Structure formats: structure tokens, C-alpha cells
Amino acid sequence: KMKVLLLLGLVAVALLYTLHPLQVDFWKPDSPDLVTIGMNVDIHVPAAQLDMVFTILQQSGIEVKIMFENLQEAVEAQMDNKRATKAHDYTKYNNWATINDWVVSISSANADLISRQVIGNTYEGRPMHLLKIGKKTGSAKPAVFMDCGFHAREWITHAFCQWFINEAVSTYGSDPEMTNLLDRMDFLVLPVFNIDGYEYTWTKERSYLMWRKTRSKNSGSSCIGTDPNRNFDAGWCTTGASSNPCSETYCGSSVESEIESKNLANFIRSNKSIIKAYLTVHSYSQLLLFPYSYKYGLAADHSELLSVSQGAIAALRSLHGTRYTSGPGAVTIYPAAGGSDDWAYDLGVKYSYTFELRDEGRYGFLLPESQIKPTCEETMLAVKYIASYVLNNLY
């Protein structure tokens, strides 16, 4: 198994369609439909098809850089040291059973700051826990909603939501900024959105398929799952999304066809009066994106969203020097309809942002556990920057 970085020239786009039937797994961008001239493309090629793919690429004069000679080894290396214990650890990737138990225990251990609810179950029946973090004042407070784990293979995101929750409760009372935030606002955190997909990456497919989508059945197709970030009512299925159930960017049979999408959307709709910011955490690429992705037109609040994003990525960079790029989704990466960030913004949640965490492609979805701590530490700074800004600019 290998991951290949392609530096594409003019012939590339047509060429990728000749690769498509070969079950090439697109890491960046999310599908061959999103490839444009001059773009760097990351693909994962099954070993059996390697010679054929290499021949096609070389004949086409495309520059190829091998990122992983052997993806299986990289998968094993991602778990930096094999764990004897199943105990929850903020600097390791935790499976769903461990996260599920952790959610219950951290909530009960911090009952003064955390209340827990289930906003619904997933397609396969797993509970979608939502943690409300903030000092309990007895009255409604403005809130920031944050979710992680929309896409199953983006493991660093799940790690970040866990890190955030722990950091919030453990620095309350000692860190003035966090204390002020939790006294005056609430964080509504969904630590794992696509639980079924995440569980699947742990049990079946981590090493060779890199599962992204949900795990729902599609009528009339043997292909499983929908891309939940193409499933929202924001220019649904018009651009950068596919109506083919076998595609990684399948938009679903209808808006909110996925129960996970519907559960999240129903919660946000019913709490719209208090939710002032929506943050959704993805990987990888080191980007901070805001609306719009489903169209090229700028958001009504474009200049403010841009300046807040620039402040947030400057705060992030201050810790480890990690460079992010910020901007509207469509122009910064590519058009993509049906995203939760655009949907939340159009619903009236002004400060709507998508994070694409580390890295820029060296490890991609296989970010080593040694990078969990620095990634989470720097991302905390950006989230706190946005939350503080929102608190000082309520609407």
C-alpha cells in the first residue's frame, strides 16, 4: 500500500478519470471530481494496482512523490507505542468504547461545569453524546457549538474535542481567559459526530480503506454510507458533491438523509437563539475556512469572518509556528455544497468556521500520536481566540 503525492499538470484531470475505476482512494481532495489543474493531489493506491498506476502517471509526465512506501507500516506507526492498557489517554487515539466511557466519567467528575445529554442515536444505534461545558448560572448563556469526527478517518479531530473538554474543566479557575469564557458562555461539544464510521475504522478498515462516510445502507446500491458534510441544506448536491452512492462525496438520498445530520441540525435549530458560533473540526490541510463553500459569492459578514480567522490562525501559530491559511471555502480550497458550516451560517449562526487540522500531507490521516499534544495545544489557542471574540461581539 502506498500513498502518492501527485503534482498535476494539464493532462491530469482527464488522467484521473482513467485512474478512477482502479479504486484509487483520494485523500486530498476528497474525490477526483474536485481536482483542478495545478493542484497537488494525494492518492492511496492498493499494492496490486501500483505498477499500472505508476505506468499511467509516468507516461503522462506527472511528477510523483511517494509519501508512504508501505501504508500498513505507517498505520502501525501511527500508534506510537502499542498500548497494553485500554485506559483513556489524551495523547493517544482512543476507540469509541473508551471515549464513550470517558464522556460519562468526565461529566460526573465535573458536575459543576459539565452537563451531558444524548441528542439522538446513530444509524447503528450508538448514542450521540453532547457535553455542555460552562459555569451553571441558572439562566441561558450564549454558546459556541463545536463538533469533531464528521469524517471517520480524521482521527486527530476526535482527539481534539476530548482535549478541549479536559482543558476547559482543568484550567477553569486558574486560566483567566478560560474562566471568563466558562463563566459567561457555554460550549456545546459533540466529541464524535460520525460514531459508526469511527468505530468501523478501528474494527475493520483502518489499514486499507480509510473509511470517511457514515455507515448507512443505500437503497439500490451495494455501496455504503453518505458523506455527512455534503448532507446539509446548503446548495445541497449542486457542486463538489456526488449523487453516486459509491462516491466518497455522496450527498445522500436527500437533505439530512443521515440520522446523524438530522440529530445535529435539529439540536442547532432548537437552540438557535443561544448558539452564536459553530465550529466543525476536520483534517487535514492546516486551514481555517468560513462560508461559503457552496458558492463563490462572499458571505454578508465576509470582512469580519476573515479578520477573526486571521487573528485565530495568528494565535495558533504563536505556539509551535504552525502555518494555517484562512478564507472562504470555495475560493480557498474548492466548491463543495451541503456542508454543515454553510448551513449553520445561513441559519443565522454568524461565526461559522471549519478547521482543517495538521498536517499538510506528510502523514495525512495517519498523523502520529506524538503530534496529538502539539496539535491540540495550538488549536486550543485558535478556539479560545474565536470564543473570546464572539463573547465580546454578541448579536
Lookup: cell for 218: 443505500
- Nearest alpha carbon to residue 109 among 172, 181, 188, 192: 172
DSSP 236: T
Lookup: cell for 276: 452564536
Cα-based torsion angle of the residue sequence 239, 240, 241, 246 in order, rounded to the nearest 10 degrees: 140
Cα–Cα–Cα angle for 270, 275, 278, rounded to 5 degrees = 110
Angle, helices 155-171 vs 372-392, to 10°: value is: 60
Q: Which residues pair with 352 in a beta bridge?
A: 278
Instruction: Given the residues 356, 360, 369, 378, select the one marked as catalytic.
Output: 356
Decide the pairing of beta strands 2-7 and 40-45.
antiparallel
In the annotation, is 369 catalytic? no
- Nearest alpha carbon to residue 55 among 18, 86, 25, 13: 18
Work out the burial of residue 111: count CB atoms within 10 Å of its CB; fewer than 13 is exposed, 13-18 middle, 19 or more buried. Answer: exposed
Distance in angstroms (rounded) separating the CA atoms of residues 5 and 44: 9
Q: Tell me if 227 sits within 8 A of 219, measured CB to CB.
A: no
Task: Collect all residues with Cβ–Cβ distance below 8 Å to 13 and sequence separation of at least 6.
Answer: 35, 36, 37
Lookup: cell for 245: 452512492
Sheet with strand 63-68: strands edge to edge: 25-28, 40-45, 2-7, 63-68
Residues found in the chain: 395
Q: Tell me if 185 sits within 8 A of 387, measured CB to CB.
A: yes
- Nearest alpha carbon to residue 165 among 149, 182, 151: 182
Distance in angstroms (rounded) separating the CA atoms of residues 119 and 127: 8
Q: What are the residue numbers of the active site?
A: 356
